[in-house]
Structure 1
Amino acid sequence: MRSSESYPGEPGAVAAARHLAARFLSRVGMGGAAAAEQTVQIVQLVVSELVTNAVRHTDGPCGVDLELTGQTVAITVWDTSPQLPVVTEHDPTRVGRHGMEIITALCGGFQVARREAGKQITVRLLLADAAV
């Protein structure tokens, strides 16, 4: 199962993408139980961090693609900037710039692919791990 949306590069895109993730997981049967609610929250956090980066660091549209394969959800966010994401070294005293650090901790890493106009970042999250 798959769901995709495109957004203008504006702050409202973050909330819209979080809603997309919740609707998607509800459609695939992840709504209701406490573990499932935690899964929804983690997927929404990952989507939120990636879309926030797309909105904050680019000046064009962005998009989200969610795909469920077995028990893994692939989250892909594209934007129009060719600049690749930077994971900064862990620093608990730093304010901000923790997005990709959070993504790496929750998803074990990410893949970046260049697009004709920009890039896309894909992460995979095993839903069973998100429910723990």
Structure 2
Amino acid sequence: MQVGYALGGDDGCIAEARHHAADFLTRLQGEHDLDVSPRAMDLTQLVVSELVTNSRKYAPGPVLVELRIAGAAVEVVVWDSDPTVPEARVADPDRIGQHGLEIVKVIVQSLDIQRQSVGKRITARIALSDTCTSKDSC
């Protein structure tokens, strides 16, 4: 169970990415009776939004997004053309903005960033159930 799509990088692509994520999980709930908690729905949309925002901000060209079910989790995969591996900045309550990767790292089960021959691929794993904490291996 997976879906993939390309985003052009225009102003509406972040909202479009969130819509695709919600639609994917909603369809799986209806068509495959997959149990997706409201929290997982919200977190998936947040992770998609943050990763696509970073790609749009720092990488020229299209952004590719793949959503897939892997066991008891949804994996959000985002590819962009910039090979630079992002790093979460040190927490700073006085800094405005640039907290996206900090947030993502806290709410996902795992985050994997791989340089590709062109660009990079970021894979975030989010538990579908509320019975799993963000770092559980369920």
TM-score > 0.5 by shorter chain: yes
Q: Which region of structure 1 is more displaced relative to structure 2, 40-49 or 6-15? A: 6-15
Evaluate the alpha carbon distance shift between residue 130 and residue 8 of structure 1 in structure 2; reply closer, same or farther with a 3 A threshold. farther
Offset of residue 11 of structure 1: 2.6
Identity %: 38
1:36-94 CA-to-partner distances (Å, cap 9, x unmatched) read 33321111001000000000111111011000122111110000111111210111221
How many residues in Structure 1 have an aligned counterpart in Structure 2? Answer: 128
Structure number with higher helix proportion: 1
Q: Distance in 2 between matches of 1:87 and 1:6?
A: 25
> 1:47: which partner in 2?
48
- List 4+ stretches of structure 1 deviating above 6 A: none
Structure 1: runs of 5 or more not aligned: none
Query: Equivalent residue of 2:69, what SS?
Result: strand
> 1:37: which partner in 2?
38
Amino acid at match of 2:83: P
Query: Equivalent residue of 2:65, what SS?
Result: strand
Evaluate the alpha carbon distance shift between residue 12 and residue 4 of structure 1 in structure 2; reply closer, same or farther with a 3 A threshold. same
Evaluate the alpha carbon distance shift between residue 100 and residue 17 of structure 1 in structure 2; reply closer, same or farther with a 3 A threshold. same
> 1:121: which partner in 2?
122
Q: RMSD between aligned alpha carbons?
A: 1.9
Amino acid at match of 2:125: R
Amino acid at match of 1:118: G
Structure 2: runs of 5 or more not aligned: 31-35, 134-138
